[in-house]
Amino acid sequence: MQAFPVLISSAETVGDLKDLVKAEQSPDFDAIVANKIKLWKVSIPDDGNVPILRDNQSVENQLRATSELFEVFKNELKEMKEMKGKADLPKDTIHILVERPPPGNAHTRAFHSNLIHSVTIVHNL
């Protein structure tokens, strides 16, 4: 799994982010419908050495497609503004885990923790 940056406005929705993730991961995600991608909010230092699996993380916040990114990250943005004077998410941090839908037909329910990717959000007001 490799982390990759995504530049997106905080006014966009989680659904918009799913579309960007799908485009960014082409051709690997070409056969995937964007709304089937699951996104999970995390905060993991990106040191490049530790494999990241959803099973190993405290992942409680699956994101809803209709949520605005500003609302998803409002506490983090507020904290950064207070600490550094500007509302940017921390760099060198993975902010989102991406779970691909399981392979096979739509009735497959097996969980595939090896299908996790990560996203570093590059906040853009």
Lowest mean pLDDT among 15-19, 70-74, 77-81, 86-90: 86-90
Q: How far is residue 94's CA from residue 3's CA, in Å, rounded to a whole number? A: 7
Q: In degrees rounded to 5, what are phi and psi of residue 34?
A: -55, -40
Residue with more model confidence, 72 or 115: 72
With respect to residue 74, please indicate whether it lies within any of the assigned structural domains.
Answer: yes
- 52 found inside a domain: no
Cα angle 42-123-16, degrees, rounded to a multiple of 5: 80
d(CA 115, CA 104): 13
- Is residue 33, in this structure, part of any structural domain at all? yes
Residue 7 placed within a domain: no
> Among 23-37, 47-61, 91-105, which is the least confidently predicted range?
47-61
Q: Which domain holds residue 94?
A: 13-47+58-102
> Is the whole-model pTM more than 0.85?
no
Q: Is residue 123 part of a domain?
A: no
Instruction: With respect to residue 30, please indicate whether it lies within any of the assigned structural domains.
Output: yes
- Whether residue 113 lies inside any domain: the answer is no
Domains contained in the chain, number: 1
62 within domain boundaries:
yes
Give the model's confidence band at 66: pLDDT under 50 very low, under 70 low, under 90 confident, else very high: very high
CB 118 within 8 A of CB 94: yes
pLDDT over 90 percentage in the chain: 27
Residue 44: beta bridge partners? 94
